[in-house]
Amino acid sequence: MAETRVVIAEDSVLLREGIVRLLEEQDCTVVAAVGDGDALLKAVEAHRPDVCVVDVRMPPTFTDEGLRAALVIREQYADVGVLVLSQYVEERYASELIGGNPGGVGYLLKDRVADVDQFIDGLRRVADGGAALDPEVISQLLVRSRRVDPLAVLSPREQDVLRAMAEGKSNGGIAQALVVGEGAVEKHISNIFLKLNLTPTDGEHRRVLAVLKFLDT
């Protein structure tokens, strides 16, 4: 069996070391074991592994650092497999991770990895360009696809700006309400138009169309 080179990203030292030992017992080579998203990206650049095992919530905010790093890896290192191992299904990022190219990606829930063989089989499939998706992940993504929020592509601040636009505020009024500069407001509005696919050909109506999308949700 060909050598499988692995990078592990897990902030819990005990769990990280446990995964390292487990993989080494299965004849995998752990080329790096790190505790945060930035270190993960540096390790991938340095070692170009066959696959990364990535936790979702890591320092500094313990929210979605792991998944955001996984998305960068998927975009910049197409030949590196990504296996997310998490306690949660982060629907939005999971959809982005799997969407487009379903090969070389996995998303397994920690509590549902029944045994070592199941985990190792999933890891090797992802390393070989296949997929390993927990049935619960698939189920939740199917539910999400039926209730997709068109404004989910906007950042929280962009949603705040769009909400203020819907209230009829001018750029100056939005800046005052959100305690930011008008230049920042203009940038947020440009991003809103871009993310909602409102092109310059829509002219001055883009502001109205953006508000209509907001009111329709």
The Cβ of residue 209 has, within 10 Å, a number of other Cβ atoms equal to 14
CA distance 40 to 114: 26
Closest CA to 30 of 2, 7, 54: 7
Mean pLDDT (the chain) is 85
The lowest-confidence range among 62-66, 80-84, 100-104, 199-203 is 199-203
Q: What percent of the chain has pLDDT over 70?
A: 88
- CA torsion sign, 110 to 68 to 52 to 63? negative
CATH number of 4-145: 3.40.50.2300
User: Which parts of 58-197 are beta strand (E)?
Assistant: 81-86, 105-109, 131-133
CA distance 58 to 87: 12
**What pLDDT, on a 0 to 100 scale, did the predictor assign at position 7?**
98
- Taking the whole predicted model, whether its pTM rises above 0.75 is answered as no
Instruction: Determine the topology of domain 156-215 in CATH.
Output: Arc Repressor Mutant, subunit A (1.10.10)
Q: Where in the chain is the domain with CATH 3.40.50.2300?
A: 4-145
CA distance 106 to 121: 11
Q: What percent of the chain has pLDDT over 90?
A: 41
Q: Are 36 and 30 in contact (CB under 8 A)?
A: no
**What pLDDT, on a 0 to 100 scale, did the predictor assign at position 153?**
81
Beta bridge partner(s), residue 4: 28
- Asked if residue 17 has pLDDT above 80, the reply is yes
- Asked if residue 5 has pLDDT above 90, the reply is yes
Please write the tens of the pLDDT for every residue from 86-131: 887 777 777 778 766 667 888 888 876 767 888 999 899 999 988 8
Q: Are 57 and 65 in contact (CB under 8 A)?
A: yes
Residues 128-139, mean pLDDT to the nearest whole number:
82
